[in-house]
């Protein structure tokens, strides 16, 4: 057995710094194991705070997804007029949501700015690849495909053709339910073109001014001012000189869902078809 005197001697032989070193070693051992327990808890807490990023909004204007199953690509081989084209394969496409002044219909006279609209459409799409997007309807009553059209310029700029023609004053915004995906955008474009006297809004004189708002609205221009009435039957086809004027009133007052003036006799979305 070790005598008490030897134990005391051993203790006394330990210097102060050795005791401190021993304590530090113990503390180090504890620190190595203890954080693992806390770090696991912390990681779980962080994971519980992670949320899935929100899905991008679906209301972005004129944003085309080329992966959309309702899109297809074709080459334009002929431009019929400002809002109609012929594709490779012979199919004819009528642009949705817009109407340009008439140039080709044998039943109608050449309308103001119709030739300019046709020329601009030719410049944009003839002999070029275009991306077509469907809305609800496949074709109109004439068998023409109803589509929104995009084209990419030589500089790489993507142009939404329907939108471009309205915003630059080559076309009117026209609502043909149920194909109304971009109609509010087109109406905003038309207002912009009208307020800035672009294209036909500068060159052509209208017997009836229009507004995008589906309610009575006073709209002055350089020639005249008038109030559009949408709450009662105030017009008939004899009040208009050309089809596009009647169509503008028809669309502004709500289209087929509110044909209070009875301008669309056969319910096909086209007002006063007898007008030039």
- Could you state, in order of their start, the residue ranges of all structural domains in the chain? 71-204, 206-276
Mind giving me the DSSP string for 146-187? EEEEEEE-TTS-EEEHHHHHHHTTSSEE--BTTB-TTHHHHH
Active-site residue, 4 included: no
| Structure-derived torsion over alpha carbons of residues 120, 121, 124, 125, reported in degrees to the nearest 10 | -160
Q: Which residue has the higher pLDDT, 253 or 228?
A: 253
Q: Which of 116, 120, 144, 245 is catalytic?
A: 144
Q: Are 203 and 224 spatial neighbours (Cβ–Cβ below 8 Å)?
A: no
**Rounded to an integer, what distance in angstroms lies between the CA atom of residue 45 and that of residue 58?**
33
**Rounded to an integer, what distance in angstroms lies between the CA atom of residue 197 and that of residue 187?**
15
**Rounded to an integer, what distance in angstroms lies between the CA atom of residue 25 and that of residue 13?**
20
Once rounded to an integer, what is the mean pLDDT over residues 42-66?
Answer: 37
**Exposed/middle/buried for 4, CB within 10 Å: 0-12, 13-18, 19+?**
exposed
pLDDT given at position 232: 66
Active-site residue, 123 included: no
CA angle 79, 84, 87 (to 5 degrees): 60
Once rounded to an integer, what is the mean pLDDT over residues 230-246?
Answer: 75
Strand, helix or coil for residue 206: coil
Active-site residue, 187 included: no
Q: Are 131 and 64 spatial neighbours (Cβ–Cβ below 8 Å)?
A: yes
Out of 56-65, 82-91, 233-242, the most confident range is 82-91
Taking the CA atoms of the chain, what radius of gyration do you get in angstroms?
36
- Across the chain, what does the average pLDDT equal? 75
**Rounded to an integer, what distance in angstroms lies between the CA atom of residue 28 and that of residue 25?**
5
Q: How many Cα atoms occupy the beta-carbon half-sphere of 149 within 13 Å?
A: 31
pLDDT given at position 24: 76
Q: Which residue has the higher pLDDT, 52 or 162?
A: 162
Q: Are 182 and 62 spatial neighbours (Cβ–Cβ below 8 Å)?
A: yes
Closest by CA position to 117, among listed 164, 158, 186, 157? 164
User: Is residue 123 pLDDT above 60, yes or no?
Assistant: yes
What does the block give as tokens for 33?
Answer: 């194991």
**Rounded to an integer, what distance in angstroms lies between the CA atom of residue 233 and that of residue 213?**
17
User: Is residue 36 pLDDT above 50, yes or no?
Assistant: no
Distances (CA, A) of 167 to 162, 171, 244: 9, 8, 17
**Rounded to an integer, what distance in angstroms lies between the CA atom of residue 175 and that of residue 158?**
24
Give the position of tokens 């004819």: 92
Q: Which of 94, 147, 167, 194 is catalytic?
A: 94
| Structure-derived torsion over alpha carbons of residues 29, 32, 33, 39, reported in degrees to the nearest 10 | 160
Q: What CATH number was assigned to the domain covering residues 71-204?
A: 2.40.50.90
Q: Which of 102, 116, 120, 190 is catalytic?
A: 102
Closest by CA position to 103, among listed 89, 93, 92, 117? 117
Give the global pTM.
0.55
């Amino acid at each position: 057995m070790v005598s008490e005197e030897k134990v005391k001697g051993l203790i006394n032989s330990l210097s102060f710094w050795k005791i401190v070193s021993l304590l530090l070693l113990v503390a180090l051992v504890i620190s190595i194991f203890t954080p693992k327990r806390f770090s696991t808890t912390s990681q779980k807490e962080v994971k519980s705070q992670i949320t899935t990023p929100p899905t991008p909004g679906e209301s972005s204007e004129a944003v085309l997804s080329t992966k959309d199953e309702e899109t297809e690509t074709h080459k334009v081989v002929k431009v019929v007029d400002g809002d109609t084209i012929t594709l490779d394969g012979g199919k004819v496409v009528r642009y949705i949501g817009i109407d340009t002044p008439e140039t080709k219909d044998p039943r109608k006279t050449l309308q103001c700015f119709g030739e300019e609209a046709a020329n601009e459409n030719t410049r944009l799409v003839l002999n070029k690849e275009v991306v077509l997007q469907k809305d609800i309807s496949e074709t109109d009553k004439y068998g023409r495909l109803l589509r929104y059209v995009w084209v990419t310029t030589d500089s790489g700029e993507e142009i939404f053709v329907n939108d471009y023609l309205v915003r630059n004053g080559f076309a009117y915004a026209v609502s043909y339910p149920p194909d109304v995906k971009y109609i509010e955008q087109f109406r905003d474009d038309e207002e912009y073109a009208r307020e800035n006297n672009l294209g036909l809004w500068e060159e052509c004189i209208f017997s009836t001014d229009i507004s995008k708002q589906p309610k009575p609205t006073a709209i002055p221009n350089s020639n005249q001012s008038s109030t559009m009435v949408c709450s009662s039957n105030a017009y008939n086809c004899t009040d208009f000189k050309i089809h596009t004027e009647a169509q503008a009133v028809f669309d502004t007052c709500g289209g087929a869902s509110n044909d209070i003036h009875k301008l669309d006799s056969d319910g096909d979305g086209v007002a006063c078809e007898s007008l030039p």
